[in-house]
């Protein structure tokens, strides 16, 4: 099976390409560095020739609403048109658990929601994978919520997962039949957001104080108790946070 991975050189995309290749598929990484630009359409016709599945794990370089909207609208529109021309039979896209709720206050997530609308209303059978937050981005979350030496976060639940598990989840979707809807995935454990970030910072020797603040926001968005966790029917993957921290420390 030929699978073209848009964003195939990034954190999840590179792991996805590796995993699909190891299982005998013809996985092709597609990114500006490989001569493929979904936003401009450059290289799409060539790379999609003979493709069975297209997986889009690319992301906007900006969280600003206008820029993110332009990115997702252009790339998704170009992809769907090129896929239809090439006879691609399955479009898989990576998105985020809680997008509907986060979109109420976040321009970036409104752009993601619009992307999902283009896919669901488009001509290609599809699967949208909603994943929870990645372990790899916990430091960025802390930075976004830092005031001086204090990290202020709402005491909401979060069920994060490793990027390797995200890649596996997307690979499973890619080789399966289109669901023409959303499938949710998450990590094996739930945490309170401040507790998780405190553990992550402590593990890397970061002395910032992490406090639970009911007025604090997540990426500028007021979130509910369960905004960041998937529904009960979601697929839970295996890598535990404690094990991931140990592995990351060993690599460092």
> What tokens were used for 21?
């290749």
| Angle (nearest 5°) at CA 128 between 127 and 132 | 140
DSSP 157: E
Q: Give pLDDT, residue 224.
A: 93
pTM for the full model?
0.95
β-sheet bridge partners, residue 209: 150
Q: Give pLDDT, residue 249.
A: 79
What distance in Å separates the CA atoms of residue 161 and residue 193, rounded to the nearest whole number? Answer: 13
What is the tally of structural domains in the chain? 1
Going through the chain in order, the beta strands assigned E by DSSP cover: 2-6, 26-30, 53-56, 90-96, 126-131, 146-147, 150-153, 157-158, 181-186, 191-192, 209-212, 235-236
Q: How many CB atoms lie within 10 A of CB 238?
A: 12
99 contacts 230 by C-beta, under 8 angstroms: no
> What tokens were used for 74?
């252009």
Which residue in this structure is represented by tokens 């297209």? 54
| Angle (nearest 5°) at CA 95 between 204 and 178 | 135
Q: Give pLDDT, residue 208.
A: 96
Closest CA to 84 of 56, 48, 57, 39: 48
What distance in Å separates the CA atoms of residue 51 and residue 2, rounded to the nearest whole number? Answer: 5
Domain containing 82: what range?
A: 2-251
DSSP 102: H
Domain harbouring 103, CATH code: 3.40.50.720
191 contacts 200 by C-beta, under 8 angstroms: no
What distance in Å separates the CA atoms of residue 199 and residue 178, rounded to the nearest whole number? Answer: 38
Q: What is the pLDDT along the chain (252 residues), one digit of tens a residue?
A: 999 999 999 999 999 999 999 999 999 999 999 999 999 999 999 999 999 999 999 999 999 999 999 999 999 999 999 999 999 999 999 999 999 999 999 999 999 999 999 999 999 999 999 999 999 999 999 999 999 999 999 999 999 999 999 999 999 999 999 999 999 999 999 999 999 999 999 998 999 999 999 999 999 899 999 999 999 999 999 999 999 999 887 777
> What tokens were used for 228?
């960041």
């Amino acid at each position: 099976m030929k699978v073209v991975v848009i964003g195939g050189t990034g954190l999840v995309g590179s792991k996805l390409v590796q995993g699909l290749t190891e299982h005998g598929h013809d996985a092709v990484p597609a990114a500006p560095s490989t001569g493929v630009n979904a936003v401009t359409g450059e290289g799409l016709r060539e790379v999609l020739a003979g493709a069975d599945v297209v997986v889009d794990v690319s992301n906007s370089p900006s969280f600003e609403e206008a820029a993110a909207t332009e990115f997702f609208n252009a790339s998704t529109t170009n992809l769907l048109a090129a896929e239809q021309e090439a006879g691609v039979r399955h479009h898989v896209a990576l998105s985020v658990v809680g997008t509907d709720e986060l979109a109420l206050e976040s321009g970036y997530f409104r752009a993601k929601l619009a992307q999902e609308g283009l896919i669901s209303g488009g001509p290609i059978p599809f699967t949208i994978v909603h994943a929870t937050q990645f372990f790899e981005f916990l430091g960025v979350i802390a930075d976004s919520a830092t005031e001086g030496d204090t990290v202020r976060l709402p005491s909401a639940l979060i069920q994060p997962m490793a990027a390797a598990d995200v890649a596996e989840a997307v690979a499973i979707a890619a080789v399966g039949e289109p669901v023409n809807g959303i499938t949710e995935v998450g990590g094996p454990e739930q945490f309170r957001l401040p507790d998780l970030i405190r553990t992550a910072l402590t593990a890397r020797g970061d002395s910032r104080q992490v406090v639970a603040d009911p007025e604090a926001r997540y990426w500028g968005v007021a979130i509910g108790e369960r905004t960041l966790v998937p529904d009960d029917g979601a697929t839970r993957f295996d890598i535990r946070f404690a094990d991931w921290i140990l592995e990351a420390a060993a690599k460092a």
